[in-house]
Amino acid sequence: MTSPPLILGLESSCDDTAAALVRGRDVLSSVVMGQNALHADFGGVVPEIAARAHAERLDLCVEQALDEAEVSLSAIDAIAVTAGPGLIGGVLSGVMLAKGLSAGLGKPLIGVNHLAGHALTPRLTDGLAFPYLMLLVSGGHCQFLIVRGPEDFSRLGGTIDDAPGEAFDKTARILGLTQPGGPSVEAEALKGNEKRFRLPRPLLDREGCDMSFSGLKTAILRQRDALITDQGGLTQQDRADLCAGFQAAVRDVLAEKTRRAIALYRAENPSEPALAVAGGVAANKALRAALEVVCETQDLRFTAPPLRLCTDNAAMIAYAGSELFALGRVSDMSLAARPRWPLDKRAAPLIGSGKKGAKA
């Protein structure tokens, strides 16, 4: 049996510069150089700084990925690159390098949708069969997808404003906690009482799977200001209770919307029903536990890729590239970098654009 093609993946659509080598479902190397420190003073990702850092580091990432996998450039069978959606300067850096490598090595070029990379990861990590349901929750994305094939996605709903990770980060900022906000809010929430503050459960009264998280962060801001007016400041316990209340609200909204998404997905009679969750927010233990309960009660398999493959990385791009390559989907030198690129062309575009760039 011949071995599957060796694919070099490149990712530079937001604030992680990454390169990886993948053969079939084997990740030979996956290098991610983050940029948190570069953007820390600005309260969000600065596109120009991100683009410059990608341009400076992409080739270093590729070298390191080749070293770690102990393969040479000439051994690569194809180059897969994120061609969107994302911050255009960063996407361009990756696409230009991929074109250069493709032309120089005489190897095929494959343009990959970043969201398809996330959405196909459960096939890389767990070998999930199509169709499965995916909840993508990160700092820049939040959507439910039915994944039917490498190019066949139905978006059932998504956030109409902030992504949950963005709301965690803003909540942390409001309460003076460190960034990224997800882990620090989660740690505080463990010490808090989620019932003390009554926080909204946005859009639960509306049918369907669309979500909204920006109002929650405003509710936290109001509660904080009310406490400051009443008592002159926040105690440790106030902070913990606010974090617990916020996290419980996000958890409840995502769990209920997941129940609704499962009902829509079930209508397709999937032979091996499964829900996969991906994105940085999938690291949240309270959220995971709630989703596991939903899946248990609905008799559905629950999977979450390991965190290093849940958050932005290039292995997912290489893997998605390999699925496209198997279908003969090769790009040429006209491959364009796209700031917006919805996975589901039939679904209405989402409103809004968060700190992590355009949401497709």
- Contacted entry of Zn ion, ligand KG4, none for residue 192, CB cut-off 5 to 8 Å set by kind: none
Contact 174, 224 (CB under 8 A): yes
Contact predicate 135/146, CB 8 Å? no
Q: Which is nearer to Zn ion, 197 or 213 (CB)?
A: 213
The minimum distance between CB 26 and ligand KG4, in angstroms, equals 23
Task: Provide the minimum distance between the beta carbon of 168 and ligand KG4 in the complex, in angstroms, as a whole number.
Answer: 4
**Cα 197–chain centre separation:** 29
- Which CB, 14 or 78, lies closer to ligand KG4? 14
Write down the least CB distance from residue 141 to ligand KG4, Å. 6
Which of residues 173 and 266 has its CB atom nearest to ligand KG4 in the complex? 173
- Which partner from the list Zn ion, ligand KG4, none does 194 bind, CB cut-off 5 to 8 Å by kind? none
Specify the residue, 13 or 102, whose C-beta has the smaller distance to ligand KG4: 13
Beta-bridge mates of residue 154: 146
Q: Which partner, ligand KG4, Zn ion, none, binds residue 119 by CB below 5 to 8 Å per kind?
A: none
**Is the distance from CB of 111 to CB of 105 less than 8 angstroms?**
no
Residue 299 C-beta: closest distance to Zn ion, Å = 30
We find the least distance from the C-beta atom of residue 166 to ligand KG4, in angstroms, to be 6
Helix, strand counts (H, E) of the chain? 11, 12
Q: Which two tokens stand for residue 329?
A: 């989907």
* DSSP reduced 3-state for 213: coil
Of residues 102 and 171, the one with the C-beta less far from ligand KG4: 171
* Amino acid of residue 249: A
Q: For residues 84 and 131, which CB has a smaller minimum distance to ligand KG4 in the complex?
A: 84
254 interacts with, out of ligand KG4, Zn ion, none, CB within 5 to 8 A per kind: none
Q: What are residue 195's phi and psi, to 5 degrees?
A: -95, -10
Residue owning tokens 């091996």: 272
Contact 339, 113 (CB under 8 A): no
Q: Are 251 and 202 in contact (CB under 8 A)?
A: no
The amino acid present at 19, given as its one-letter code, is: A
> Which tokens hold the place of 285?
């233990």
Q: Which of 57, 70, 32, 108 is nearest to 315 (CA)?
A: 32
181 binds, among ligand KG4, Zn ion, none (CB under 5 to 8 A by kind): ligand KG4
Nearer to ligand KG4, 128 or 243 (CB): 243
Q: Which C-beta is closer to Zn ion: that of 194 or that of 312? A: 312
φ and ψ at residue 33, rounded to 5 degrees: -110, 110
Q: Which residue has its beta carbon closest to ligand KG4?
A: 182
List the single partner that 356 binds among ligand KG4, Zn ion, none, CB under 5 to 8 Å by kind: ligand KG4
Identity of residue 121: T
Nearest to 147 by CA among 352, 316, 31: 316
Q: Say which entry of Zn ion, ligand KG4, none residue 238 contacts (CB below 5 to 8 A, set by partner kind).
A: none
Q: Which residues bind Zn ion (CB under 5 A)?
A: 312
Q: Where do contacts with ligand KG4 occur on this chain (CB under 6 A)?
A: 14, 138-140, 165-166, 168-169, 180-183, 186, 279-281, 283-284, 311-312, 356
The token pair that represents 305 in the structure block = 């890729």
Residue 183: contacted member of Zn ion, ligand KG4, none (CB under 5 to 8 Å, by partner type): ligand KG4
**Min dist. Cβ of residue 267 to ligand KG4 (A):** 29
